[in-house]
Structure formats: C-alpha cells, structure tokens
Amino acid sequence: MTKYKVPRRFLGSGITVVEVVNETDKFVILPATRYQREHRESKVSAYCDYYDTWKEAHRVFRERAEKQVEIAKNELILAESVLIRAVAATEADARKET
C-alpha cells in the first residue's frame, strides 16, 4: 500500500513515496529494513504527515511551502528595517564626530 509522506518543517526533502505494510486510524506500519525492524509511525506528527493520495499530499506541501515563503518575506522586511536603522544611526554618529 502506498502513502505519501510530507515533512512539516524542512520542505527541501519534498514528498516521499512510502510503501507501508498496514495502517490503522492513527498509524502506518512500515516494513522492516536491513537496519530496522517493522515499526509504526504516527500518520500525523510534529515532523511529518502521511497522506493517501499524491494530490492531497501535494496540496498540503504547497500550502506549507507558501507559508514558509510568506514567513521568509516578513523576516526579510524586518531585517531590512533593522539594517536601515543601523545605517542611519551609524551615519548620525559619523556626522557628530565631524
């Protein structure tokens, strides 16, 4: 059974296609690997979410990416205003010294 794993914070990894052994309402059961036994992960966690369809996973991924862009734009605006104030203060200090 195929699920689509969407990260919550670090979107650079993108959507991961995951084969699961089984699922419950709240968990997916992942198959054993060479390094790990069969184990379960929450469908919804602080790190990632699992979705049944690519379309749904892509919609959520896009929403999260758009939100990160908006946050980055706001942080840039704040950083620019801090820089403008710092430059103005430096220039004011330079004028006082002359």
Q: Is the pTM of this model over 0.85?
A: no
Mean pLDDT of the chain: 93
Side-chain half-sphere CA neighbours of 60 within 13 A: 19
57-96 pLDDT tens trace: 999 999 999 999 999 999 999 999 999 999 988 887 777 7
User: What's the rounded Cα separation, in Å, for the pair 69 and 83?
Assistant: 21
Say how many residues make up the chain: 98
pLDDT exceeds 90 at position 53: yes
Q: What is the structure's pLDDT at 3?
A: 97
Domain region containing 32: 2-97
pLDDT exceeds 90 at position 12: no
What lies within 8 Å, CB to CB, of 8 at 6+ separation is 45, 46, 47, 48, 49, 64
- Give the number of domains in the chain: 1
